A and B are shown apart, each in its own frame.
Chain A
Amino acid sequence: MQRVGDSLPVKWTLIVLALVLTALVLVVPLIEIVRQALAGGVGELLDNLTNTYTLSAIWLTLLIAVITVPLNVLFGTVLAWLVTRFRFLGRRLLQTLIDIPFAVSPVIAGLVYLLLYGRNGWLGQWLAGYDIQLMFAWPGMVLVTLFVTSPFVARELIPLMQAQGRQEEEAAVSLGARGAQLFYRITLPNIRSGLIYGAILTNARAMGEFGAVSVVSGMINGVTISLPLQVEQLYQDYNTVGSFVSALLLAMLAVLTLVIKGLLEWLAERRQQRHSKVAEDV
């Protein structure tokens, strides 16, 4: 009997096609980034890597990610929980609203924040009374990144939690589990993979965001320039090597994120195995 996956020519055509596409779309551009970063030799690469502006861009990029990811993991989990476990008026509307940051162009998002929190915006004027300036400073960049990356976790969790239903949780409650216990022992283990994936997406976007942050950054060298902005600025400035060194740094941060993701998944899997082993022993 013929089964799917039996046909050798189809199998090999697909494999070759996948390899060629991966090479063209993924590998060649990555190699080109490395090649361009090394175009001036290792010395120039190191100079570009260790100058104060690059170091501050790395620092700012990490700061944005380190604030954005936990806040949006928290926000996304609460939202997904609310939407999938409770029935209330406006639930559908809320589910649509979650997607707004996906639907809106990041530049528009940045602009709206600028018009609200800028010198002439009513929120900006109110904050200026307390001598607080969010725009053209790092808090503004964090704010727009929070907005742009807010749907990732919720969008990962909602389908997952909908598919799982609430039987397990109801069973736990009937056995006497309290709120926090319920969350950490039942809900969290079930959504762990979606949570990790959502956090990875949030992190990647937070570190790579260009459009929204470029509007509110003010481009102050060594102060409000994150790595993606630095790539653009050095390129505009005819410093191609510097630009590609920053691009390489961004790529390496992305790889690091993926490594962390792999590590977390491996740890989670191991814990799961240990738990089921304990369960069997009992």
Chain B
Amino acid sequence: MKKASLFTVSRLHGLAPLALALALGGAVVPAAQADTTLTNASFDVARELFAALNKPFIAEWDKQHQDHLVIKQTHAGSSTQARSIIQGLNADVVTFNQTSDIDVIAHAGLIDSNWQQRLPEHSSPFYSTMAFLVRKGNPKHLTSWQDLAEQGVELVFPNPKTSGNGRYTYLGAWASQSALNHNDEANTEAFMRRFLANAVVLDSGGRGATTSFIERGQGDALITFESEARSLAKQYGDKYEVVVPKVDVIAEMPVAWVDASVRKNNSEALAKDYLNYLYTPQAQTIIADHFYRVRNEQVAKQIAGRFPDTHLLNISDVFGSWDSILSTHFASGGKLDQLQRQ
């Protein structure tokens, strides 16, 4: 008798957690499917922006429908997101900070190749530019890209090979010098050599560069998107200020619905509604509150003064297509590699 009870008790002990797990795991799945869902794959620092944007959209949708709308957000570097979607991440819409990363998904056949023509403003409801975060009082008087290439100036920006900010930093410096010397390429390359030599660290991503500049106190200027520089200045109070150069490049934030996913999820209408919502005055106001520049003229007029007047150069006007930018400048052995060699 005793033997038998020992046997059964120890066996149950072993199986109980497994049974519990299966029961709980099973309970979660149907609950999530009762709502209408939309999955938005977005870039890494846009978490709060989309949390704010989704709230009114969900409220409006719930008012007009029987069931509840759940918007699932996923955030990571937009190149990582593109790769995940190609491998099967079931995102209905993408809201990225790199046009080239949507092209990557389009090349894989999951997004229509004419995606930039499907929505207004090249499918880019908002945009930003590059800015310098400098220490209070701007002790080295850094106001233009040219100032950054002066001797003795120390720069912090992420590696152009691995991050969007880094790429735009490189392109911004190049484009502004190129505008100044009327496309004298030898002069621009000499300038870029000095500019790149001033970098004290090249972290792999934007967050690492920020840590180097703010927590480790390295460098005279952190170069990043204007939106990020402003939210950093807001977070760290009066220790820093933001400088936006007079001539700069436009960094478009592109959006698209993922054709393969919306077909499978039967969510095409919802995905389009959501992306079109980003162009409405209500959404554009929220976007501007998060320090991005917006397209809607009414909203732009209301917030005039919040963003300094800047002559913004178009990447495609200066450099051509993203495909050619990547192969000419950032590929192994490309311009960036050559210019970094001393």
Binding site for B on A (CB under 8 A): 63, 66-67, 69-71, 73-74, 114-115, 118-120, 124, 133, 135-136, 138, 180-181, 184-185, 188, 218-223, 233, 235-238
Q: What's the minimum C-beta distance from B200 to chain A, rounded to whole angstroms? A: 22
Q: What's the minimum C-beta distance from B225 to chain A, rounded to whole angstroms? A: 13
Q: What's the minimum C-beta distance from B56 to chain A, rounded to whole angstroms? A: 18
A67 near B25 with CB under 8 A, answer yes
Interface residues of B in 91-117 (CB under 8 A from A): none
Which chain A residue lies CB-closest to B24? A63
Among the listed B10, B22, B88, B205, which residue makes an inter-chain contact with A188, where contact means beta carbons less than 8 Å apart?
B10
Known: A181-B3, A237-B44. 9 other contacts (CB 8 A): A133-B90, A184-B6, A184-B7, A219-B75, A221-B74, A223-B32, A236-B45, A236-B205, A237-B75
Residues of B within 8 A of A67 (CB): 18, 21-22, 25
B88 near A118 with CB under 8 A, answer yes
Residues of A within 8 A of B47 (CB): 221, 233, 237
A133 near B45 with CB under 8 A, answer no
With A and B bound together, what is the CA distance between A66 and B20 in angstroms?
Answer: 8
Main secondary structure of the interface of A (DSSP, over half): helix
With A and B bound together, what is the CA distance between A45 and B149 in angstroms?
Answer: 43
Among the listed B7, B18, B45, B235, which residue makes an inter-chain contact with A70, where contact means beta carbons less than 8 Å apart?
B18
Binding site for A on B (CB under 8 A): 3, 6-7, 10, 14-15, 17-18, 20-22, 24-25, 32, 39, 44-45, 47-48, 72-76, 84, 86-90, 205, 207, 210, 231-232, 235
With A and B bound together, what is the CA distance between A235 and B72 in angstroms?
Answer: 20
B17 near A66 with CB under 8 A, answer yes
Residues of A within 8 A of B22 (CB): 67
Q: What's the minimum C-beta distance from A208 to chain B, rounded to whole angstroms? A: 18
Among the listed B17, B18, B39, B86, which residue makes an inter-chain contact with A220, where contact means beta carbons less than 8 Å apart?
B39
Among the listed B7, B89, B231, which residue makes an inter-chain contact with A238, where contact means beta carbons less than 8 Å apart?
B231
A136 touching B84 in the complex, CB below 8 Å, given contacts A63-B21, A180-B7, A237-B48: yes
Among the listed B18, B44, B89, B231, which residue makes an inter-chain contact with A136, where contact means beta carbons less than 8 Å apart?
B89
With A and B bound together, what is the CA distance between A164 and B166 in angstroms?
Answer: 60
Q: What's the minimum C-beta distance from A70 to chain B, rounded to whole angstroms? A: 5
A219 touching B74 in the complex, CB below 8 Å, given contacts A67-B21, A184-B6: yes
B18 near A71 with CB under 8 A, answer yes
With A and B bound together, what is the CA distance between A73 and B32 in angstroms?
Answer: 31
Residues of A within 8 A of B15 (CB): 70
With A and B bound together, what is the CA distance between A218 and B205 in angstroms?
Answer: 19
Q: What's the minimum C-beta distance from B217 to chain A, rounded to whole angstroms? A: 17
Residues of B within 8 A of A181 (CB): 3, 7
Residues of B within 8 A of A63 (CB): 21, 24-25
Q: What's the minimum C-beta distance from A230 to chain B, rounded to whole angstroms? A: 11
Among the listed A70, A120, A238, which residue makes an inter-chain contact with B17, where contact means beta carbons less than 8 Å apart?
A70
Residues of A within 8 A of B89 (CB): 135-136, 218
A220 near B73 with CB under 8 A, answer yes
With A and B bound together, what is the CA distance between A233 and B75 in angstroms?
Answer: 8
Closest 8 CB pairs of A and B: A119-B88, A118-B87, A66-B21, A218-B89, A136-B89, A220-B74, A221-B73, A70-B18
A238 touching B235 in the complex, CB below 8 Å, given contacts A63-B24, A66-B20, A220-B72: yes
Q: What's the minimum C-beta distance from A232 to chain B, rounded to whole angstroms? A: 10
With A and B bound together, what is the CA distance between A236 and B6 in angstroms?
Answer: 51
With A and B bound together, what is the CA distance between A60 and B14 in angstroms?
Answer: 21
B45 near A135 with CB under 8 A, answer no
With A and B bound together, what is the CA distance between A69 and B17 in angstroms?
Answer: 9
B21 near A120 with CB under 8 A, answer no
Residues of B within 8 A of A120 (CB): 86-88
A136 touching B7 in the complex, CB below 8 Å, given contacts A66-B17, A236-B44, A238-B45: no
With A and B bound together, what is the CA distance between A159 and B112 in angstroms?
Answer: 58
With A and B bound together, what is the CA distance between A135 and B45 in angstroms?
Answer: 24
With A and B bound together, what is the CA distance between A236 and B209 in angstroms?
Answer: 11
With most chain A CB atoms within 10 A of its CB, the pick from B74, B76, B232 is: B74
Residues of A within 8 A of B207 (CB): 235-236, 238
Residues of B within 8 A of A69 (CB): 17
Residues of B within 8 A of A118 (CB): 87-88
B72 near A221 with CB under 8 A, answer yes
Residues of B within 8 A of A185 (CB): 3, 6
Q: What's the minimum C-beta distance from B88 to chain A, rounded to whole angstroms? A: 3
